[in-house]
Amino acid sequence: MKEIRVGIIGFGTVGQGLAKAMLAQRERLQQRTGIDFVLATVADIAVTSLPDEFGQVTLTNNAEDIFNDPTIDIVAELIGGMEPARSFLLKAMEKGKHVVTANKALLSVHGKEIFAAAAKNNVEVGFEASVGGGIPVIKALKEGLVANRINYIKGIMNGTANYILTQMTDHGTPFAEVLKEAQELGFAEADPTYDIEGIDTAHKLAILMTIAYGLNVHLDDVSVEGISSIEPIDIEFARRFGYRIKLLAISRNHGESVEARVHPTMVPEGHMLATINGAFNGIQLRGDTVGDVLLYGQGAGMMPTGSAVAADVVDIGRNIANGSVNRVPALSYLPENIGEPTITPMEQLQCPYYFRITALDKPGVLSVITGIFGKHNISIRSMMQQGHDSNEPVHIVFRTHLAQEGSVEKAIGEINALDICTAPTVKIRLLISE
């Protein structure tokens, strides 16, 4: 039986998930592939011993031991971050080793360099676990939907943010309290910035767009807004209007340009994405041949992510065994056919909006605000006011018809500058049904 030997760099949550999956599924993988996948070496500077079940695995604190071992076929980089992860991947490929990574941040910034190095060294890069945890969305785009022009990508791609918004919706708990609870339960990191400010989601969207469109989409191409400004009152107004607030990644393919944005979005309660709650992820794709596809599952965690990394290891192992390395291009498109993106400017976006304006309850306030909206061609669909004590500011909520982002930003700037406004205006985009 063909033996494929694997080295893991980083024995944290994902590294342990991969190791456990390889051990638990070893016999099944032999039956499915005719290959014996062997975990040969683990490199980690902080681990002094491995669990008893990995007694045959070599432990080292030096990744060079993996790079310099000619018997290791595949290297799994599972430490995260930019460096030394980037250098480790490049060095492994220079040594002729295939690589697997779950590192979405690295790929969304340095992906072009990494995939070029893979092509140069005729090795494969597996990165299924970089988006959606255990959800096989990378494979779906690369292979299952290969006969499609992808028209849009929409998705909930961060379990921490989705958990927080779900708790706020179901229990009316303020953002700060839910975040603290999420940290205590292990759903949120001690520093949750990447999750709650949309950066993690933007990493993932950049990767999916690159595969979907055959374009080198970089993290900097994605417009990003987080959820830290969302308050229970916004959740309640959304409920009254028949919406749920979700942190969405959205990209539309206009042909000559593509949208790339991450922001809180009011999603109609009847929409598929509105029903995805807790720490789960859901990614909706539309192809011109297949129509709509929804992929749903656990977007993080030891075993779901370990499952995705193991799938890459098996795919690469099969290709090695059958002499078909790079049968499927890493980014689905042949390298020479991957171009540079033209990103649709945010100011050109058109969608309905929700505004919550906090202002003094004085005569003439509404006429001033609506006058500003009218000046910028923003048509109001409905208006509600909460609070009637003239000594306290009130919340005035507007929903608009389709409006242009550039005009909206100008109007909000003027409204926030008014003496009658006591807090920045909250703006949430509404999802357009397609």
Known binding positions for NADPH: 104
Cβ 303 vs Cβ 309: under 8 Å: no
Give exposure, 323-341, as e/b (b: 16+ Cβ within 10 Å). eeebeebbbbbeeeebeeb
- Cβ(107)–Cβ(101) below 8 Å: yes
Positions marked catalytic: 204
DSSP type of residue 44: -
Please name the residues in contact with 355: beta carbons below 8 A apart, sequence gap of 6 or more.
397, 398, 399, 400, 412, 425, 426, 427
Secondary structure of residue 197 in the 3-state scheme: coil
Quote the tokens at residue 156.
Answer: 């909930």
Which residues define the annotated binding site for L-homoserine?
189
CB distance 160 to 279 below 8 Å: yes
- Distance separating alpha carbons of residues 284 and 299, to the nearest angstrom: 14
Annotated binding site: 104, 189
Helices then strands (H, E): number in the chain?
14, 18
> Nearest Cα to 131, choosing from 154, 151, 152, 158?
158
Residue that is written with structure tokens 């993080």 in the block: 300
Terminal C-alpha separation, the chain: 51
Closest CA to 411 of 360, 357, 364: 357
Pairing mode, strands 243-252 and 261-268: antiparallel
